[in-house]
Every structure is written in structure tokens, then in C-alpha cells.
Amino acid sequence: MLLFGLGWSLFRRPVLQRGRLGAFAALAASVWFTAYPLAYPSSHEGHPSAVRFRLPFDGAWTVRWGGSRGEENALVLQPDRRFGFDFVVCDADGRSDDGRGFLCRGLPVLAPAAGRVVAVHDGEPDAPFGGYPEGGEPYGNHVVLEVAAGEHLFLTGLERGSLRVAPGDEIEAGAPIGRVGFSARSAVTPEAYLGLHLQDMPEPRRGEGIPLVFRDYRTPAGDVESGVPHGGFRGGRHVGERVEQQPR
């Protein structure tokens, strides 16, 4: 309708008339507003999970996306992944590959919290380095873990055939889940990565995101007792926080 109105005005000159200025202003405002990257207004905003989460790995990793602001977390636009994270492994220059493969490929994935496995999806092919996943499931191979009533944790982008849990399993925090693959399709992270997010439904892409915090991890700035690691990607380099789980 807006395009029709604009075309109608172009054929009835002069185009800029006093009565049309308000309509043109409304059109410009509408285009700007729909293009602005507003975070999804989750009903769980300000109410983080009470579950105690650890990082889903050992060793030093980099946060590709994470945090509450769009410049540090491109996932804020997605209803289910509103408070999610994408993790990669980087070298000292912020590169996540060595020219032959992604540094996080094949690394172990650990359960971030105790819970019950409610779903396991396996069988999606892993793309080769330089390629792009072509499976039917955007999350790739993944595991869904119920960590509390109405709270379902997703671990995505796993390697085909590496999953070590099955639906119904009761597992503890730190238990092995599988390995990182290159099976998830993502417009904002077009590389191998480990995805993690918490939502209020067990079905993929059907719930709202729930905020979560990690406990007892280390950054270059010091130890963190409880916090939300921040991500970022600029100039072809990962600039998010480098994080590592503290041993207990």
C-alpha cells in the first residue's frame, strides 16, 4: 500500500505538496523503524534462570556472540536465542581458523548444568572447511537439556555421530555431550561454532529466550564469580571476551 501511494503521488505532480508531507514523513519513519535492529522483547527479560551454569567446555574459548546489546550479540533479534551465545576458539590475532580448518572443530562439549535430556538430533552432515552446512535442520546436530521446570537448554552445531547422550538420560554438570562440528546454518556465524541458548519450550525455534548467567569463569581481566560474557565481531576479527572455566 505504501508503494502504491508513492507511485500514485509521482504521477500527480507536483510530488511534494503540503498535504503529502506528513505521509512521506510517515513512510520514511516506517522504513527506518523496520530496518532498525531492535532486540526481541522477551517476556523473560530481567528474570534470569536460577540454575547454576558452567561454561560448556574446558580450556580458553572466545565469545563470538553474547550479551544483551546488538553490537555484542547478533542473536538478540531472534526470539528463542535472544539471550544465547555462540562460542569459537581463536588464536592470539582473533582468528578462528588456521587456513586449513576451524580451531574449535572436534573439541569436547560438556553439559553446562545438571538436567534431563529431552531431545537429541543427529545425522546432519558436517560441512568441510570453506563450505557451508546443507542439512535440513538449521541448528544442526543438537541436544536439548531440561535444566528446570519450563527451562530448556539447547547445545547446537555438534558433530554428526559424536553425541554421547540419549533422551531420558539424567546427567550432571560437566558430563560429556559430544564434539563441536560444522552442522548448524547461521547467517551471523558462518563458521564452525558451539551454540548455546536457554528457552521456555523444548521445540526448536518455538520458545522465548530466558537469560542465563555463568558461574566461576576466568577472563583476561580476572576471575568472574557470576556474569554474562560479551561477544563481538569487527573487521574480520573476533573481539569478544576470551573465557575459561575455573577448576573446582
Calpha distance 35→27 (Å, rounded): 13
User: What pLDDT is attached to residue 17?
Assistant: 66
Using the 8-state DSSP alphabet, how is residue 102 labeled?
B
248 or 145, which is more confident: 145
Q: Which residues of 53-86 are buried (b: 16+ CB within 10 A; e: fewer)?
A: bbbbbeeebbbbbbbeeeebbbbbebebbbbbbb
User: What nine digits make up the cell of 117?
Assistant: 535430556
- Mean pLDDT over the full length of the chain: 90
User: What pLDDT is attached to residue 36?
Assistant: 46
What pTM did the predictor assign? 0.85
Is the bond leading into 37 cis (omega within 30 degrees of zero)? no
pLDDT digits (tens, 9 = 90+) for 11-65: 666 656 666 666 656 655 555 444 445 678 888 999 999 999 999 999 999 999 9
Domain map (residue ranges) of the chain: 2-35, 60-245
Residues in CB range of 163: below 8 A, 6 or more apart: 120, 122, 141, 143, 177, 178
User: What pLDDT is attached to residue 40?
Assistant: 80
User: What pLDDT is attached to residue 133?
Assistant: 97
User: What pLDDT is attached to residue 39?
Assistant: 79
Closest by Cα among 2, 55, 7, 56 to 26: 2
Superfamily of domain 60-245: Glucose Permease (Domain IIA) (2.70.70.10)
Interhelix angle for 2-10 vs 18-35, to 10°?
140
| 3-state SS assignment for residue 182 | coil
pLDDT digits (tens, 9 = 90+) for 134-151: 999 999 999 999 999 999
User: What nine digits make up the cell of 116?
Assistant: 534431563
pLDDT digits (tens, 9 = 90+) for 104-119: 999 999 999 999 999 9
